A and B are shown apart, each in its own frame.
Chain A
Amino acid sequence: MSETSARLLPNGDTALAVEFGERIDRATSERVLALHDRLARAALPGVVELLPTFRSLMVHYDPLRTSHAEVARRIRPLLDGLEGVSPVARRWTIPVCYDPAFALDLQEVATRTGLAPAEVVEHHSATTYHVYMIGFLPGYPYMGDLPARLALPRRENPRTQVPAGSVAIATTMTAVYTLQSPGGWHILGRTPVSLWNRRRTPPAVLAPGDKVRFAPIGMDEFARLAKQADAGELDLAPEAQ
Chain B
Amino acid sequence: MKDEKQLLNIKNLVVEYRTDGGVIHAVNGFDLSLKKGEALGLVGETGAGKTTVAKAILRILPDPPAKVCSGSIEFEGEDLLRLSEANMHRIRGNKISMIFQDPMTALNPVETIGEQIAEPVRIHNRVSRSEARKRTIEMLEMVGIPGERYSEYPHQFSGGMKQRVIIAMALACNPELLLADEPTTALDVTIQAQVLEMMANLKKDLDTSLILITHDLGIVAEMCEKVAVVYAGEIVESGTADDIFNHTAHPYTEGLFDSLPRINSTARRLRPIKGLMPDPSNLPEGCKFCPRCPYAEEICQKKNPDFTETTPGHFVKCHKRKGDA
Q: A and B: real partners? A: no
**Which residues of A approach B to under 8 Å, CB–CB?**
none
